[in-house]
Amino acid sequence: MSTKFSGIWIGEKDLTRDEEFLRDAQNEVQSPSIIEALGEREVAEQVGGNRRDFLKMMGFGLGAATMAAGCDIPVKRAIPYVVKPDEIVPGVANYYASSFVDGGDYCSILVKTREGRPIKIEGNNLSGVTKGGTSARAQASVLSLYDVNRIKHPTVDGEKVEWSDLDRSITSKLASARGIRVVTNTILSPTEKSAVAAFTAKYPSAKVVTYDPVSSAAMLEANEKSFGDRVIPNYHFDKATHIVSFNADFLGTWISPIEFAHDYAQGRKIKNVKGAKMSKHVQVESQMSMSGSNADNRILVKPSEQGAAIAYLYQQVMGTGSRSAGLNANAEKALKQLANQLKSSKGSSLIISGSNNAAEQEIVNALNVSLGNYGNTISFDSASLQRQGDEKELVDLVADIQAGRVDTVIFNNCNPVYEYSGIAGLKEAIEGVANKIGLSYTNDETTNTCNIIAPIHHNLESWGDAEPKRGHISLIQPTISPLFDTRQGGHSMLVWAGSTALDANAEQPYYDYLRSQWSGYHANSDFLSFQSFWDKALHDGVYHGNSGSLVDIASANVDATSAMGRITKPSGSDLEIQFTEPIAIGNGQYSNNPWLQEMPDPVSRCAWGNYLAVPVDFDGVRKFKGLNGLIDGDLVDVTVDGKTYRVPAIQQFGQMPGTVSIAIGYGRTAGGACATGIGVDVNESISLVDGRANYSSANVSLSNKKGEEEHYSAVQYHHTMGVTAPNAAGETINADETTLAPGYGNIFSGFQGSLTDRSIIRHSHVDDLEKSVEDLIHEREHHEGLNAETLYPYNEYVAEKYSQGHHWGMHVDLNACTGCGACTVSCMAENNIPVVGKKQVARHQEMAWLRIDRYYYGDVNNPNVVYQPMMCQHCDNAPCENVCPVNATNHSSEGLNQMTYNRCIGTRYCANNCPYKVRRFNWLDYTTGDLFPANQVKVNNEEVPFGADNLTRMVLNPDVTVRTRGVIEKCSFCVQRIQQGKLTAKTEKRGLNDFDVKTACQTACPTGAITFGDTNNKEGELAHKFESPLNMIVLEEINVRSSVRYTMKVHNRDESLEV
């Protein structure tokens, strides 16, 4: 029986027509009584509620309302500036170019500020690295500025001190220190590096220990050995026709995902239907990574087979051997085939690996050299500096401490105690050090061991710079005065070094220091005066300097044969585990950011916690079971190298049989209110092999089901539409319809309003594109035919209404969308969308206006994936509008489906009637503006509900209403931006241009997948995109006249690489 389905599916329940799921999919409200949310289950049962209680509550409510109405209107104050800063006009946003930097993560950004407070991050188009794109992490960084867990003042031994006292205390300790270590993540800032250099120069016993939370050290070592330059080269995914990634999640987390996603999309977008070309992407991995989900083919190998797979491909390309040691037969066949293709496309392929084994990376280098990729798809000009660390130095640090050679450690905003708990004795060693100085932002596992804490600024409060790639230098400028009594890390280092380069009495000492450091760049520029050079660099946020290559490829030392002996040997174990870095929270660095916690993982669609991905077993008929009979949300004991973790499981399509995987970065014990206790910490099981972190293990065992997770917070079955499933004969039929009309055969199919053939996704192979487009056009004609059978034909009655002025529309290119989630976080930030927490997510009550639906298609054993950003479609014939009893949702003359919160009475008819399931109801008081605290939700074990404090509220966008309990909300096409853009055009007395109005999701996208604009502007970019023959409308057949167009998903799957 075939394991391939022509349709798309969401998950196992969808494929098997799980009865509970189908029932849920029909109901608007999935969760039990609302009263349960008010307290714990027992309390809910007690308050049960009956008619009398209802009347009592009504009476109380009426009384309370009367009392409230009887009160005086409060006196409000209007407080002007004493001296108004020139650049601030209250009510008008200012944008400042800056950079998002966290360790090696980098994004060039524009910071939107209102009345002097940063509220939103946008991408910087002038950057040669991120090219205007952003990531979810960069988007969410503005919220961490207002983190209530921030350290607010310097402390010594837990006592609050003045900076001068702290400096005195530290310098006296440093003066008498035996051995000093500065432990840090990758430092991208040249200026901070020089500050650290000044420090090490002052104290000869000081050494810098650099490591990365997730290591790429083997790559650096391999490149140093092969090319003599300890850097990561410059990859050009846009130039590659064949991309082979060995377990490197380059679109999600690996090195520079924003940049890579942008370039990658260039090769994936379809420009012409005739003779369409796109790159071919093959991912070799065991678990479904985000990059793997975008790949055309995935070659499944166990984690321990990675080395063998790389070696085998090398041998096949070189023709030096046909033997593979322990590689599974399927992979062997596929890699052999792949090698032939690579050989015939020399100079245009690109091979990367996420391996942390230096020998394997050397073979990858040898592969790229022999395929002639250096100079074409890989170069050493503008080489990446985004990973510089090596955890071997941490190992050495532990040895030095244990040997008594170190008595003072400075932690530069890093958390090795949590991240490298796999290094034996690390925590104990650090605890035993006499002087531990934390340059810390919030309390964490490492800071908690420190006796002196010198709190640092947020990026948005700092001066600084960053050099993510050689010659690409960008500035960091403060957009708000420091909120607390903090000081920049580099500044502290210079003070402790007693540096004369720093004028401690200056108004902004570190600013002056930064400028002095930049005089060198000025010397190489065309600018006459430093000030004009500086102004330009600060305005642009970026400066492009000398980015020349230091490497001569011809003299590269790429001896793969010696490396062959040092690769990881396949284990032959029945079960292996892969540890993965989550897209949102990294290795815990971002885990205290609730926006990132609430953003579902693109592939597993889990929020708030890590889940053990277990493979799904297809029995050939209709049964899909997870490994060991596990199903979604089952608790299970997984034992890795003797350590047992109880984790919830999730059935993951595309997970290789005989392997499981789980995300790191969760289970923080001291990570702040939103991080602590969320998920399970597995970092202890990341063992060291040759001093390098090994993110997999072959020594794994898995128990049977041990229970069920209380709040199973995967959103993959939430807000489903057009559920399809195969019937007993293996044909795809519509599950809704079967449920609706059992035993009635086909009489309910194939006519207007029927539920069959719901058009949600269309996909095609790139080679069949012309035919698929014909089919699509045919199908759309069919839909149009169905839609024309109405008393009120659209073209006669409605179309004319929108023919003048503006008519807003959106285009989403599914071939460019990688599922990274930057748009969803951007939407949260722009539109004041509340965070609801794990429990509410489990109740299907997440509030995100924009969700990214993930559908599988193809082979159930190794499926392809398509991501579909789904937001309000602003239907011109909207079903939600007709059912609102109070007309709170209605249509504007510009084609917007308007939602008026102050008119909404919360019947939720609209949400029920929305075919796209994009309307969200405020079940509880998420924004904490309610009269009754019982209605407020605590996102995690916080002291006060999230956002109930004035600090967190500073992030709110003042142009968007904060919704209260009991109203519906949904995507507004960023109407506040539309209105702002229109106003700008009006005041300038000119027509509206494309650049006037861009939605938050559009500006956040690193690949340009989303285009927003005025469909009536025939010269606009949107009108151009609307003409693409690949376009389709989701659920076009139901005649709702959506304003959003999606493209057909085009893939380049190579059947010859399949078994």
Partner 1 sequence: MATNNICNREKMIVRLLKPFSFLALLFFTTTLLAQPSADAGKTIFRNYCASCHAKDMKTKSTGPALGGAQERWGDYPLEDLYGWIRNSPNMIYNVKHPRAIEVFEENARSVMTAFPNLTDDDIASILLYIDAQLAGPATAGGAAGPTQEVKKESNLSWLYWILFGVLGALALILTRTIGSLDRVVASKEGRTVAQQPLLKQVFSKRNVSFLIFALIVIGGYNTVSNAINLGRQQNYAPEQPIKFSHETHAGINEIDCQYCHDGARRSKHSVIPAANTCMNCHSAIKNGSEFGTAELTKIYASVGFDPTTDKYIENYEELERDDIKDIYTKWISDTYLADNSLTALDKKGKKTVDAQWEGIVNSLTNDQKKTIAGPIEWIRIHNLPDHVYFNHAQHVTVGEVECQTCHGKVEAMEVVKQHAPLSMGWCINCHRKTEVKFEDNEYYASYEAYHEQLSGGEKEKVTVEDIGGLECQKCHY
Q: Are 12 and 856 in contact (CB under 8 A)?
A: no
Binding mask 92-111 for partner 1 (x = CB under 8 A): x-------------------
Q: Out of 1016, 1039, 1042, 1043, which residue is the one contacting partner 1 (CB under 8 A)?
A: 1016
Binding flag, residue 643, partner 1 (CB under 8 A): no
Q: Which listed range, 162-170, 229-237, 421-429, 974-982, lies at the site for partner 1 (CB under 8 A)?
A: 974-982
Q: What is the largest distance, in Å, between two alpha-carbon atoms of the chain? A: 90
Closest CB to partner 1 among residues 73, 528: 73
Q: Determine which residue in the list 804, 885, 943, 950 makes contact with partner 1, applying CB under 8 A.
A: 804
Q: Are strands 968-969 and 763-765 parallel, antiparallel or unpaired?
A: unpaired
CA angle (975, 978, 981) in 5-degree steps:
150
Alpha-carbon distance 80 to 84, whole Å? 8
Asked whether the beta carbons of 324 and 307 are under 8 A apart, the reply is: no
Q: Is 751 in the site for partner 1 (CB under 8 A)?
A: no
Q: Classify 98 as helix, strand or coil.
A: strand
Of the candidate spans 74-82, 434-442, 839-847, 1028-1036, the one that interacts with partner 1 by CB under 8 A turns out to be: 74-82
**Residue 79 in contact with partner 1, rule: CB under 8 A:** yes
Complex with partner 1: residue 830 or 846, whichever CB lies closer = 830
CB 721 within 8 A of CB 660: no
Min dist. Cβ of residue 971 to partner 1 (A): 12
User: Nearest approach, Cβ of 1009 to partner 1 (angstroms)?
Assistant: 25
Interaction between residue 993 and partner 1 (CB under 8 A):
no
- Matching residue, tokens 């506040």: 976
The helix (run of H) or strand (run of E) holding residue 226 is: helix 217-227
Going by C-beta distance under 8 Å and a sequence separation of 6 or more, which residues neighbour residue 523?
none
* DSSP 8-state class, residue 1018: T
* Smallest gap from residue 903 Cβ to partner 1 (A): 7
Cβ-based nearer residue to partner 1, 689 or 983: 983
Q: Which residue of 41, 59, 986, 1059 would you call a contact of partner 1, by CB under 8 A?
A: 986
Among 432, 805, 879, 906, binds partner 1 (CB under 8 A): 805
Query: Residue type at 748?
Result: F
Among 23, 56, 84, 277, binds partner 1 (CB under 8 A): 84
Residue 882 CA to residue 424 CA, distance in Å, equals 64
Q: Which of the residues 845 through 904 are near partner 1 (CB under 8 A)?
A: 888, 890, 892-894, 896, 898-903
Nearest to partner 1 of 712, 909 (CB atom):
909
∠ CA 341-346-352, rounded to 5°? 80
C-beta atoms surrounding 844 within 10 Å: 17
Amino acid at 862: N
* 173 or 920: CB nearest partner 1: 920
DSSP line for 469-529: ETTEEEEE--SS--SSS---HHHHHHHHHT-TTS-TTSSSHHHHHHHHHHHHHHHTSS-SS
Distance (Å) of CA 333 to CA 338, 570, 655: 9, 17, 19
**Helices 822-830 + 136-145 axis angle, to 10:** 30
| String marking each residue 806-825 x if it binds partner 1 according to CB under 8 A | x-------------------
Q: What is the 3-state secondary structure (H, E, C) of 682-731?
A: CHHHCCEECCEECCEECCEEEEEEEEECCCCCECCCCCCCCCEEECCCCC
**Angle CA 1033–1038–1041, to nearest 5:** 55
The token duo for 556 is 């590269």
Q: Which of 525, 749, 976, 1028 binds partner 1 (CB under 8 A)?
A: 976
329 near partner 1, judged by CB under 8 A: no
Decide: is 228 part of the binding site for partner 1 (CB under 8 A): no
Shortest separation between residue 930's beta carbon and partner 1, angstroms: 14
Number of chain positions touching partner 1 (CB under 8 A): 51
Please identify, using beta-carbon distances, which residue of 73 and 728 lies nearer to partner 1: 73
Instruction: Examine residue 803 and tell whether it contacts partner 1 (CB under 8 A).
Output: yes
Of 534 and 808, which has the nearer Cβ to partner 1? 808
CB of 960 to partner 1, least distance (A): 7
Given the rule CB under 8 A, which of 73-81, 128-136, 547-555, 702-710 is the region that contacts partner 1? Answer: 73-81
Binding to partner 1 (CB under 8 A) within 932-971 occurs at 959-962
DSSP code at position 301: -
Binding string, residues 29-68; x marks residues near partner 1 by CB under 8 A: ----------------------------------------
Residue choice 1, 69, 403, 528 for contact with partner 1 (CB under 8 A) = 69
**End-to-end CA, the chain:** 15
- 995 counts as binding partner 1 under rule CB under 8 A: no
Q: Which residues contact 272 (CB under 8 A, 6 or more apart)?
A: none
Is position 82 an interface residue for partner 1 (rule: CB under 8 A)?
A: yes
Q: How far is the CB of 425 from partner 1 (least distance, A)?
A: 52
Beta carbon of residue 76, minimum distance to partner 1 (angstroms, whole number): 4
The interface region with partner 1, picked from 292-300, 443-451, 739-747, 986-994 by CB under 8 A, is 986-994
Phi, psi for residue 880 in degrees, rounded to 5: -70, -35
What does the alpha-carbon distance between residue 916 and residue 909 come to, in Å, rounded to a whole number? 14
Q: Specify the residue, 525 or 900, whose C-beta has the smaller distance to partner 1.
A: 900
Contact residues toward partner 1 (CB under 8 A) are: 69, 73, 75-84, 89-92, 803-806, 888, 890, 892-894, 896, 898-903, 959-962, 972, 975-976, 979, 982-983, 985-987, 989-992, 1016-1017
